[in-house]
Chain A
Amino acid sequence: MAQHKVNYTQDGGLPVALTSIDKIVNWGRSNSLWALTYGLACCGIEMMASGASRFDFDRYGTIFRASPRQADVMIVAGTLTKKHAEFIKRLYDQMTEPRWVISMGSCANTGGMFNTYATVQGADRIIPVDLYLPGCAPRPETLQYGVMLLQKKIRANKAGNAQKAKRLM
């Protein structure tokens, strides 16, 4: 017979952990950040690398989804052209709240080296951005660190109140 040493009367006799609703909701939200695949240019390659086995984004519960309706966070990875601007707005509007946006790389942050007529000078001219990742292109580690910072930001908020709608205007 096995010699168990379990005290079943500990913690009031039930296997429970006490926490607050805020904590558990935010825990759920922050650890299953499904990302919208939004590779627009070379940064998209680094984003794909973060999702693949070497860097393994699944460890953080970040799984890439191909539909905005299933995604929590939009990772704008690459050069946003003026022709594409209306579509990024439409996809952002299709995401369900709460939603977050990471702007990855110089191009999405400021237009980067494309100081030209055809490039939007920063994705935040179109949609509200939560996190800017510097680099051209940022390493997958940077993206993962960015997602961890976003998780921290999510956990710092109250979950009970509906997320304040983020609008550029």
Chain B
Amino acid sequence: MRAYKPKDDVQAKAYYTDRYYVAPQVPKQDVDCDEVFAADLEAIKAKFEVKDAYIQVEQMVIYINPHDIYGVLELMRDELEYTQLSEMSAIDWLAKDNTFEIFYQMLSMTKRKRIRVKYFIENGQAVDSVEKLFRSADWSEREMYDMFGIEANGHPFMKRILMPYDWQGHPLLKTYPLEGDEFAAWYEVDKIYGKEARDIIGPELRDTARVDRYDSERFARLGFEVPKGTEITDDMEPTVQEYQEDGGVFLIRKVDKESSKVIDDPQR
């Protein structure tokens, strides 16, 4: 049996503490071992600087310079038949070396291959928008801005997409607390009722494991339901909860449990 651990503060502590854990890598292969990828890489290398390239899980990963991204994707779309941008976003490495890693996942339906194009940018730097090349980048870049605060130069509508426009903070940063900061905690109260209402409505109750049978404001004990706010003592009579009043209602027959038939055979 597991040793007993007190569970009153189970929500207070993060169960997982290593925030910058890096997963072990699967083996990388040389690009030469795949003809299609090798040819693609040659074509890209002829025009742009490629810092690193390898094959991992049957997909080629290449690292380029940030300012080349529009050109590389245009080349891949128009000449190398990588006609779909299936996903793009960023990875937060701010704690390690103050950079973001940006990735673009490309798919070729004709070659049945995927290439991931990557580069690093400094914190605070903007990226070049590829929305003119791929419409799918429109929302992806807005999401990247919303979640990480990385702006895309040349994007037609650089606004938040998931969070409200007046939100503060970028939730997918590793420094952003999961349960929200001060602004997030009071967002809806401040917006609807104003800051004065904070005292009346009170802070959020975040402990989902909390149960208090003596608190009739927030909890109802099954079989012992009382009106909200009633003082609860230990020697209370069970309340029989029936959904109809005694004597029935005008024009409606009262259900009589004794005379009703319970069908407990599902195959009847």
Given contacts A82-B184, A82-B188, contact A169 B178 (CB under 8 A): no
B177 contacts across to A, CB distance below 8 A: 117
Chain B CB within 10 A, most for which of A17, A122, A168: A168
Q: Does A55 contact B (CB under 8 A)?
A: no
Residue of B nearest to A109 (CB): B218
Contact of B192 among A86, A118, A152 (CB under 8 A): A86
**B249 near A156 (CB under 8 angstroms)?**
no
- From B58-66, B95-103, B110-118, B204-212, the one touching the partner chain is B204-212
Q: Does A166 contact B (CB under 8 A)?
A: no
**B188 near A169 (CB under 8 angstroms)?**
no
* In the bound complex, CA of A148 to CA of B206 (Å): 31
**A125 near B206 (CB under 8 angstroms)?**
no
- In chain B, residues 171-204, which have Cβ atoms closer than 8 Å to a Cβ of chain A? 171, 176-181, 184, 187-189, 191-193, 197, 200-201, 204
Q: Does B15 contact A (CB under 8 A)?
A: no
- In chain B, residues 13-72, which have Cβ atoms closer than 8 Å to a Cβ of chain A? none
**What interface size band does chain A fall in?**
35 or more
**A117 near B164 (CB under 8 angstroms)?**
no
| Interface membership of chain A positions 104-121, coded 1 if the CB is closer than 8 angstroms to chain B and 0 otherwise | 000000111101111011
A30 contacts across to B, CB distance below 8 A: 249
Residue of B nearest to A169 (CB): B200
Say whether chain B's binding surface is mostly helix, strand, loop, or mixed: loop
A89 contacts across to B, CB distance below 8 A: 192
Given contacts A83-B164, A110-B205, A125-B201, contact A117 B249 (CB under 8 A): no
Distance to closest chain A CB from B256 (angstroms): 16
Q: Does B250 contact A (CB under 8 A)?
A: yes
Q: Does A24 contact B (CB under 8 A)?
A: yes
Residue of A nearest to B160 (CB): A83
Contact of B189 among A19, A111, A125, A132 (CB under 8 A): A125
**What interface size band does chain B fall in?**
20 to 34
Q: Give residues in B with beta carbon < 8 Å to A.
A: 11, 163-164, 171, 176-181, 184, 187-189, 191-193, 197, 200-201, 204-206, 208, 220, 241, 243-245, 249-252
The 16 sampled A-B contact pairs (Cβ below 8 Å) are A27-B250, A82-B188, A85-B188, A85-B192, A115-B11, A115-B178, A116-B180, A117-B171, A117-B178, A118-B180, A118-B184, A121-B204, A125-B189, A149-B241, A152-B245, A168-B201
Closest CB pairs A-B (n = 10): A117-B180, A85-B188, A148-B243, A121-B204, A117-B184, A83-B164, A27-B250, A82-B187, A82-B188, A169-B200
Q: Give residues in A with beta carbon < 8 Å to B.
A: 17, 19, 23-24, 27, 30-31, 82-83, 85-86, 89, 110-113, 115-118, 120-122, 125-126, 132, 145, 148-149, 151-152, 155-156, 168-169
Other A-B pairs, 17, CB within 8 Å; known A112-B208, A115-B208: A27-B252, A82-B187, A83-B163, A85-B187, A85-B188, A85-B192, A111-B204, A115-B11, A116-B178, A117-B176, A117-B181, A118-B184, A168-B193, A169-B193, A169-B197, A169-B200, A169-B201
